[in-house]
Amino acid sequence: MTGQPLPPPDAPIAGQGDAKGTSPGPTTLRPARPRWRETLGLLARNPTAAVASVVLLLIVVLAVFDDTFAPEGANEISVTDRLQSPSWSHPFGTDDLGRDILSRVILGASVSLKVGFLAVGFALVAGTLIGLLAGYYGRWVDDVLMRVMDMLFAFPAVLLAIAVLAVRGPGSGNTALAIGIVYTPIFARVTRASVLGVREEVYVRASRSVGASDWRILTRHILPNAAPPIIVQTSISLAFAVLAEAALSFLGLGTQPPNPSWGLMLAEGRGYIELAWWLAFFPGMAIFLTVLCFNLLGDGLRDALDPRQRTLMAGGGR
Partner 1 sequence: MFALVHLVPGDPVRLALGTRFSQESYDALRERSGLDQPLLEQFFGWAGRALSGDLGVSFRSGETVTSQIAERLPATLTLALASILVALVIAIPLGTISALRPRSIIDRIATVISQFGISVPDFWMGIVLILVFAGTLGWLPSGGYVPISEDPGAWLQRLLMPALVTGVVSGSVITRFVRSSVLEALGSDHVRTAQAKGLPTRQVFTWHVLRNALLPLVTVTGVQLAYLLSGVVVVEIVFSWPGLGQLALQAVQARDYPVLQGAILLFALVFLVINLVVDLLYTAIDPRIRR
| Interacting residues with partner 1 (CB under 8 A) | 1-6, 8, 154-159, 162-164, 166-167, 169, 239, 243, 246-247, 250-251, 263, 266, 269-270, 273-274, 277, 280-281, 284, 287-288, 291-292, 295-296, 318
User: Which stretches of the chain are DSSP H helices?
Assistant: 36-45, 47-64, 66-69, 101-137, 139-154, 157-168, 172-198, 202-209, 214-216, 223-250, 262-270, 278-305, 307-314
If we measure between CA atoms, which residue out of 175, 137, 143, 145 comes closest to residue 158?
175
* Shortest separation between residue 272's beta carbon and partner 1, angstroms: 11
* Shortest separation between residue 200's beta carbon and partner 1, angstroms: 26
Nearer to partner 1, 203 or 294 (CB): 294
What is the DSSP secondary structure assignment for residue 74, as one 8-state letter?
A: T
Nearer to partner 1, 3 or 211 (CB): 3
Question: CB neighbours of 164 closer than 8 A, spacing ≥ 6?
Answer: 174, 177, 178, 181, 182
* Shortest separation between residue 159's beta carbon and partner 1, angstroms: 6
* Shortest separation between residue 211's beta carbon and partner 1, angstroms: 43
Distance CA 140, CA 146 (A): 10
Q: Tell me how far the alpha carbon of residue 268 is from its chain's centroid.
A: 27
Nearer to partner 1, 147 or 205 (CB): 147
Nearer to partner 1, 145 or 280 (CB): 280
* Shortest separation between residue 291's beta carbon and partner 1, angstroms: 4
Nearer to partner 1, 44 or 166 (CB): 166
